[in-house]
Amino acid sequence: MYTARVKFKRGNEIRFISHLDMQRMVQRILRRAHIPMKYSEGFNPHPKLAFAMAMSVGMLSDCEYFDVELENHVDPDEMISRINKSSPEGFTAVNALVTNQKMQSLTSLIEESEYTINAKLLNSEDSKKLEDAVKTILGEESIKYRKRNKKGRYNEKEIRPLIKDLDLVIENSKIKLGMRLSTGSKENLRPDVVIGILDPEKILFDWEFGFLTKRTFLGKSNLRERI
Amino acid sequence: MKERLEKLLPLVETPARYTGNEVNSIKKSINEGTIRFCMGFPDVYEVGMSHLGIKILYSMLNDREDVYCERVFAPWTDMEDLMRENEIPLFSLETQTPVSEFDFVGFTLQYEMSYTNILNMLDLAGVQIFAKDRDERSPLIIFGGPCAYNPEPIAEFADMVIIGEGEEVLSELMDLYSTHKNNYNRKSFLKAAARIQGVYVPEFYKAEYNDDGTLKRFDAVEAEVPEMIKKRFVKDLDNIYYPDNFVVPYIEIVHDRSLLELFRGCTRGCRFCQAGMIYRPLREKSLETLKKDADALIESTGYEEISLSSLSTMDYTCLPELTDYLMEKYAEKRIAVGLPSLRIDSFSIQTAEKIQQVRKTGLTFAPEAGTQRMRDVINKGVTEEDLISSVSEAFDLGWGHVKLYFMIGLPTETMEDVDGIAKLGYKVLDKYFETKSEKKNKKIKVVVSTSSFVPKAFTPFQWVRQDTIEEITEKQRYLIDNMRSKMINYSWHDPKVSYLEGVFARGDRKLAKVLYSAFKKGCKFDGSKEHFNYEKWLEAFKEEGIDPDFYTARERSVDELFPWDFIDMGVTKAFLAKEYQKALQGKLTGFCKFKCENCGFNEFEEGWKCHVYSKSQV
């Protein structure tokens, strides 16, 4: 049995589709590309396809991953070129790794993501305020985030350790804000939460998910299988 | 436009409804000579994109170099509100061009309850709603589809209505338009178009009414336009355009699969069924054509299922050969073959068993009525024994999910016939418990679904009175009370919606003002529970001085002139009248695939004779 690990980009043309739609889209791309997918058994067989993480509707990404099980070996370069020929605009396969060895699952490997926001200051005099807000966060030892749980009660969560780095560049009221945050099944912090802490009253800058580009990083234990 | 739109998309539900750019959607360069056609479907993207006719015409028009056909669907209300707030007009999916800038805007009429959406879409596009208000700068608004066979309720909103199948007539219209485009005059174009067979230009005709509201006369008021509009149909389906690809949506649509059209027309002759009359004659595609179509669609879409789509799919002459071919070639690739509702016989169960190797789903049967007497009235040629032995065979083979479709409110129906539906539900359930097969499914679910009969134009029941809302409600209540088993799941339709559907199905031109008034009051998406507002509709009727009961509550006399009588759809009114009489006597009419029943089609058009099949061919 072979598994292909595929690295891909999600561009503007397809940023509005949901995670479920994304899974369906990739299945159809793979079928059009004649990739020999392995199917589950049973009354309703489906391809064995696994994504690293669900993406927010609207967000772009320079680096995402999925794994797919194959019936037989396929040359990775050949696979990438076939996928890209069968893909809609906005979906680009970058790299693939095909192996018959057991790989650690994507969900267990994923640890961090990097986000870049390109936005504009609402008021050009406010650059200092935003810079201070970034410094404040990085200077804090503890940040508690209050979140409503499914039962409607508030939970408090320590999120400072999940913020690995923030990096702000302001040029002529244009903001480029880089964030490195924990991602994955163990610890996860969404970029909009950090933005909410930086600018709780939404007076400093205007943004939406389309201004956000994500890069997913697989953890260090993945060195051997890095693609 | 694109930038303004991008700002709104994060705020709406399912934004991918509005972004286009799907696999196989068409991109073209546009120049001075390009004829721009916007194909509209008056419902949301998920519904519209599931419709085969739109797919065929979209691909066919784009196959022409001189035409660029784009798509537009009804925006859901959240998007509509934002568009109105931000003054964004209705736009096409492919190029985000305002719909008002197209040469043609087409709407398909699949369902009477989508009419308000058409008015709303025209309004959102900034196009004049009434045809009489349009000028040289307005796009030409064309309607087509099954409801266009009685175009009168929406006639005042249309510049042209296409009666019949669209492929050839749309091509001819495009040819004609290309000779008019550079020196375009609305009226002279419409006059020329009206001479194409199958094109109805409502403003060239006038209706006069009797004091009792019935139609007195219907005349052409423009010189050189035909008195009768003859429908169009494609004679040879093997030599007509069929798409080799479909647009593959990102979001899940209602019918999210490839659709293979096996044939057009149906010769079973069920008396309630409008499709069975208006889509005549029967024309089958050859096995070779279908193999080629199927291969191309599977290759180009990547869909995991291909559905064999026709009015009565099991009747296709080469069905065993076709399913064998598809299974042999695609089962290994886990591409499933789907069948819509099954014919009630052993052959159908065997076929379903064969093709559901890939993915096993439920079975759907349509006995349509609960007693033999009622089934004979509607000419549904099946017996209770057929149904019981079919479900029994299905249970033996391991199915546990069976859907049964019925109608209530059929002509001459009594409570005994309604009770027959409940009884049949239980008999099916009993068969499951009697099953001793090793393959017997551990789970059982019988879904009984009733729709409320709506008499339609061009059927043997076009004369009958429709059940009132109260009568239907009583029958539904009876079925709820008498099918209390947890293993039977009963579902039914809102009788108020069926009532309004009935008004427009046999309506006339007087209804245009009611539609307009209802639209002004905010009626839209009337087919959806969330938006249907019966009170607003009643207000609209009242304000316009129209009694909706006029259209539904009276038995029409045999010699009444109908608003749709100026359309010649091939089957004669005399045949329909004869069928109506036979219905009242409970007499059956045979399957005309084998023996002609003289519906009139053989005399309809020069060069056409229906093929008579011998039973050994099946």
Confidence (pLDDT) at A220: 59
- Does A23 reside within a domain? yes
Contact state of B251 with A17 under an 8 Å Cβ cutoff: yes
What does the pLDDT look like over B67-99, one tens digit per residue?
A: 999 999 999 999 999 999 999 999 999 999 999
Question: What are the E-state strand segments in B4-110?
Answer: 35-41, 67-73, 104-108
Total domains in the fold of chain B: 2
In whole angstroms, what is the distance from residue A5 CA to residue A216 CA?
14
- Residues B287 and B173 grouped into a single domain: no
Residues with Cβ within 8 Å of B7's Cβ and at least 6 positions away in sequence, in order, are: A208
Among B215, B107, B222, B108, smallest CA distance to B152 is for B215
Q: How confident is the model at residue A227, as a pLDDT?
A: 66
Q: How many helices (H) and strands (E) does chain B have?
A: 20, 19
What distance separates the 2 farthest-apart alpha carbons in chain A? 63
B510 vs B20: CA distance, rounded Å: 38
The dihedral built from the CA positions of residue B82, B84, B86 and B87, taken in this order, carries a sign that is positive
Q: What is the rounded CA–CA span in Å between residue B99 and residue B97?
A: 6
CATH of the domain at A200: 3.30.70.3190
Q: Does A57 touch chain B (CB under 8 A)?
A: yes
Mean pLDDT of B299-312: 94
Q: In the prediction, which pLDDT does B344 show?
A: 86
Residue B617 has pLDDT above 70, yes or no: no
Option in A21, A28, A47 nearest B251 (CB): A21
Instruction: State the average pLDDT for chain A.
Output: 89
Decide if A31 and B304 are in contact by the 8 Å CB cutoff.
yes
Domain membership of residue A99 (yes or no) is: yes
At B281-302, the pLDDT tens digits run 999 999 999 999 999 999 999 9
Q: For residues B171 and B63, give the distance between their C-alpha atoms in angstroms, rounded to a whole number.
A: 11
Q: Is residue B241 part of a domain?
A: no
In a domain? residue B191: yes
Residues A117 and A208 in one domain: yes
Domain with residue B33: its CATH number is: 3.40.50.280
* Dihedral sign (CA B72, B76, B77, B82): negative
Which residue in chain B is spatially nearest to A31 when comparing CA positions? B302
From chain A, the residues in CB contact with B299 under 8 A are: 32
A134 and A165 belong to one structural domain: yes
From the list A17, A32, A210, the residue facing B302 with the nearest CB is: A32
Q: Residues B263-274: what's their mean pLDDT?
A: 95
Residue B409 lies in a domain: yes
DSSP one-letter code for B452: E
Q: How confident is the model at residue B299, as a pLDDT?
A: 96
Asked if B431 and B363 sit in the same domain, the reply is yes
Please state whether beta strands A154-158 and A163-171 pair in parallel, antiparallel, or not at all (unpaired).
unpaired
Domain match, A63 and A142 both? no
The answer to whether residues A57 and A153 belong to one domain is no
String of b and e for B423-462 (b: at least 16 CB within 10 Å)? bbbbebbebbeebeeeebbeebbbbbbbebbbbbbbbbbb
Paired strand residues for B365: B342, B404
Question: In terms of domains, do B433 and B560 share one?
Answer: yes
Query: Contacts by A17-22 with C-beta closer than 8 Å and gap 24+?
Result: A17/A57, A17/B16, A17/B250, A17/B251, A18/A57, A18/B16, A18/B251, A19/A51, A19/A54, A19/A55, A20/B252, A21/B16, A21/B250, A21/B251, A21/B252, A22/A51, A22/A55
Nearest in space to B257 (alpha carbons), one of B294, B283, B217: B294
**Whole-number Å distance between alpha carbons of A33 and A45:** 19
Whether residue A90 sits in one domain with residue A32: yes
The domain total for chain A is 2
Q: Give Cα A58 to chain centroid, integer Å.
A: 12
Given pLDDT bands bounded at 50, 70 and 90, which one contains residue A223?
A: very low
Residues B434 and B472 in one domain: yes
Nearest CA in chain B to A25: B250
Q: In this predicted structure, what is the pLDDT of residue A56?
A: 87
The token duo for A115 is 């986000």
Same domain? For B339 and B454 the reply is yes
Residue B537 within a domain: no
Q: Specify whether A144 is located in the same domain as A58.
A: no
Asked, for residue B529, whether it belongs to a domain, the answer is no
Does B118 have pLDDT greater than 50?
A: yes
In the listed set B230, B246, B277, which residue is the last one of a domain according to the structure?
A: B230
pLDDT tens digits along B574-603 = 999 999 999 999 999 999 999 999 999 999
Nearest Cα to B21, choosing from A89, A63, A151?
A89
- Contact (CB<8Å) A16/B15: yes
Identify whether A227 is part of a domain: no
Cβ neighbours of B359 in A, within 8 Å: 43-45
Min Cα–Cα distance to chain A from B249, Å: 8
Residues B123 and B7 in one domain: yes
Within-domain flag for B71: yes
Question: Which residues face A176 on adjacent strands?
Answer: A118, A169
If asked whether residues A120 and A208 sit together in one domain, one would say yes
Of the three residues A71, A103, A135, the one that is the final residue of a domain is A103
The boundaries of the domain holding residue A166 are: 109-218
Confirm if A34 and A82 have CB atoms less than 8 A apart. Answer: yes
Interface contact flag, B334 A43, Cβ < 8 Å:
no
Q: In which element (H, E) is residue B192 found? A: helix B186-193
CATH of the domain at A62: 3.30.70.580
The secondary element (H helix, E strand) that includes residue B497 is: helix B495-505
B58's tokens: 């979209």
CB contact under 8 A, A57 and B15: yes
Range of the domain at B380: 257-510+546-603
Give a yes or no: residue A156 inside a domain. yes
| Per-residue tokens: B189 | 């174009």
- Express each pLDDT in A55-71 by its tens digit: 888 899 999 999 999 99
B550 and B421 share one domain = yes
From A103, A138, A164, the end of a domain falls on: A103
The residue-averaged pLDDT of A146-154 equals 79
pLDDT in tens, B439-485: 999 999 999 999 999 999 999 999 999 999 999 999 999 999 999 99
In Å, how far from its chain's centre is CA B536? 26
Look up residue B316 and give its two tokens.
Answer: 């296709």
Are B47 and B168 members of one domain? yes
Q: What is the CATH number of the domain that holds B341?
A: 3.80.30.20
A99 and A113, same domain (yes or no):
no
Does residue B306 surpass a pLDDT of 90? yes
> Would residue A139 count as lying in a domain?
yes
Do B563 and B150 form a contact (C-beta atoms < 8 A)?
yes
Residues 112-171, chain A, touching B (beta carbon < 8 A):
none
On the question of pLDDT at A45 being above 60, the answer is yes
Residue of B nearest to A33 (CA): B302
Interaxial angle between packed helices B415-434 and B469-482, expressed in degrees from 0 to 180 and rounded to the nearest 10: 30
The residue type of B521 is K
A15 or A223: whose pLDDT is higher? Answer: A15
Segment B222-245 mean pLDDT: 96
- Phi, psi for A62 (deg, rounded to 5): -95, -15
Residue B357 Cα, gap to closest chain A Cα (Å): 8
Instruction: Judge whether B404 and B449 are in contact, CB under 8 Å.
Output: yes
Measure in Å the smallest separation between the Cα of A162 and chain B Cα atoms. 27
Predicted local confidence at residue A172, as pLDDT: 86
Does residue A170 sit in the same domain as residue A127? yes
**Does residue A226 belong to any structural domain of this protein?**
no
CB B496 within 8 A of CB B541: no
Query: CA A100 to CA A69: how far, in whole Å?
Result: 10
Tokens 């029409």 identify what position? B556
Q: Assess whether B379 and B459 both reside in one domain.
A: yes
Q: Tell me whether residue B205 is in a domain.
A: yes
A33-to-B188, B297, B300 alpha-carbon distances in Å: 50, 14, 10
Per-residue pLDDT band at B521 (split at 50, 70, 90) = very high
Q: How high is the pLDDT of residue A98? A: 94
Q: Is B501 helix (H, G, I), strand (E, B) or coil?
A: helix
pLDDT band at B178 (very low <50, low <70, confident <90, very high): very high
Per-residue model confidence as pLDDT tens digits over B382-433: 999 999 999 999 999 999 999 999 999 999 999 999 999 999 999 999 999 9
- Do A167 and A141 share a domain, yes or no? yes
| Best CA proximity match to B35, nearest among B171, B198, B192 | B171
Q: Answer yes or no: do B300 and A17 touch at CB < 8 A.
A: no
Which chain B residue has its CA at the smallest distance from A206's CA?
B7
Q: Is B359 in Cβ contact with A90 (below 8 Å)?
A: no
The answer to whether B412 and B581 have CB atoms below 8 angstroms apart is no
**Would you call B3 helix, strand, or coil by DSSP?**
helix
Q: Are residues A88 and A123 in the same domain?
A: no
ipTM of the assembly?
A: 0.89
Classify residue A223: in a domain, yes or no: no
B38 shares its domain with B81:
yes
- H or E element in which residue A171 lies: strand A163-171
Specify whether A113 is located in the same domain as A214.
yes
Q: Specify if A44 maps to a domain.
A: yes
Q: Which of A21, A29, A90 sits opposite B302 (nearest CB)?
A: A29
d(CA B67, CA B35): 5
Residues A39, B16: C-beta atoms closer than 8 Å: no
| In a domain? residue B104 | yes
Helices A127-139/A191-198 angle, 10° precision: 120
B204 and B324 share a domain?
A: no
- B415 and B283 within one domain: yes
Residues of B in contact with A34 (CB under 8 A): none
In chain A, whose CA is at the least distance from the CA of B398? A43
Q: Which of A103, A119, A138 is the last residue of a domain?
A: A103
- Which of B250, B252, B358, B359 to probe by mutation at the A interface, max A CB count within 10 Å? B250
Percent of chain B residues past pLDDT 70, beyond the cut: 100
- What amino acid occupies position B170? L
Angle between helices B384-396 and B415-434 (to 10 degrees): 30
pLDDT at A111: 86
Biggest CA-to-CA distance, chain B:
76
Task: Say which of B248, B250, B360 has its CB closest to residue A43.
Answer: B360
